[in-house]
Amino acid sequence: MFDSVGIVGVGLLGASLGLSLKQRALCERVIGFGRRKESLDIAQSMGAIDEAHLEWKDVLGSVDLLVVCVPVDKIASTVVAATPLLPPGAVVTDVGSTKSALLARIEKELGAETRFVGSHPLAGSEKSGPGAAQADLFDERVCVMTPTDRTPDDVLATVRTLWEAVGMRLHAMSPQRHDEILARTSHLPHVAAAALMGVVEDGDLPFAAGGLRDTTRIAASAPELWRAILMENADAVDSVLADYVGRLNEFRVALSRGDAATLERLYRDGKRRRDTLGH
């Protein structure tokens, strides 16, 4: 399907993609690029990549498809730096959790040379690094693609083929719409989990049961990763935070007034939506 796929950043998503490509025999060669030799060595030893490189200058010329799996605040600069070194017709995509800001930077810098389309496989976890990689991480998960009016049709088709081949279900929407939705469904939950752990005292922890563990699992995610995501999507996250604080205030007002009916209504509304979400 692909002759040579390059993966920049061999953490959880990058190494999982490499494993999936190799196990499904979807490409001849997977080339890993990164800044840390240790991560590259782990990815190569587990079979996620065939080659490992700390530098890409003399290697990118043989890559058909480049997947950028670095933190969101590094994606645009990585794409801009890599594109001139790729062969004609090569395609670039990413796995970032935000889209609007980075796509604007990429299209501004590359102009007509842009052969990039944004992708966001919704398949992460609170774990990180190549040691947490799984070949089936993308199976039956959703991937959002964010083409713009400047995205070439063949670029969109190539990236669609990639994600479908590793088992994902695809949706396409504008970068702006993506960022609005993910602010609610991903970015806000991470903020809420971190904030909740911020009000739990150390002496409370021996008495923590399923409720606290279930609602704060993602508070264990890498702080530097989430700092970058929140800064990249600051406006959308700020807007949904205002909505969330407003809903929390409804609980506070109901409690202060002894309004049992409103408390039950708020809980029922939350339960109804959670039941719709499923497991």
Give phi and psi for 42, each to the nearest 5: -65, -45
CATH of the domain at 19: 3.40.50.720
**What percent helix, strand, coil does the chain show, rounded to 5?**
60, 15, 30
Q: Note whether 168 and 52 are same-domain residues.
A: yes
Per-residue pLDDT averaged across 159-188, rounded?
A: 97
Of the pLDDT bands very low, low, confident and very high (cuts 50, 70, 90), residue 126 is: low
| pLDDT for the residue numbered 57 | 85
| pLDDT for the residue numbered 112 | 78
Of the pLDDT bands very low, low, confident and very high (cuts 50, 70, 90), residue 115 is: very high
Over the stretch 244-259, which tens digit does the pLDDT of each residue have?
Answer: 999 999 999 999 999 9
Confirm whether pTM is higher than 0.75: yes
Q: Note whether 136 and 267 are same-domain residues.
A: no
Which of 146, 173, 200 is at the close of a domain? 173
pLDDT for 142 beyond 70:
yes
Per-residue pLDDT averaged across 53-69, rounded?
A: 94
Which of 117, 148, 173 is at the close of a domain? 173
pLDDT for 125 beyond 80:
no
Question: Is the distance from CB of 210 to CB of 160 less than 8 angstroms?
Answer: no
| pLDDT for the residue numbered 131 | 83
Per-residue pLDDT averaged across 146-156, rounded?
A: 94
Which of 133, 148, 173 is at the close of a domain? 173
Of the pLDDT bands very low, low, confident and very high (cuts 50, 70, 90), residue 277 is: confident
Q: Note whether 29 and 90 are same-domain residues.
A: yes
Q: Note whether 139 and 198 are same-domain residues.
A: no
Question: Is the distance from CB of 51 to CB of 41 less than 8 angstroms?
Answer: no
| pLDDT for the residue numbered 65 | 97
Question: Tokens representing 275?
Answer: 């039941």
Q: Note whether 101 and 133 are same-domain residues.
A: yes
| Cβ density class 129-157: b for 16+ within 10 Å, e for less | bbeebebebbeebebbbbbbeebeeebbe
Of the pLDDT bands very low, low, confident and very high (cuts 50, 70, 90), residue 124 is: confident
Per-residue pLDDT averaged across 105-115, rounded?
A: 90
pLDDT for 197 beyond 90:
yes
CATH of the domain at 195: 1.10.3660.10
Would you mind telling me the total number of residues written for the chain in this entry? 279
What is the span of the domain harbouring residue 115? 2-173
**Arithmetic mean of pLDDT over the chain:** 94
| pLDDT for the residue numbered 39 | 92
Of the pLDDT bands very low, low, confident and very high (cuts 50, 70, 90), residue 58 is: confident
Of the pLDDT bands very low, low, confident and very high (cuts 50, 70, 90), residue 132 is: confident
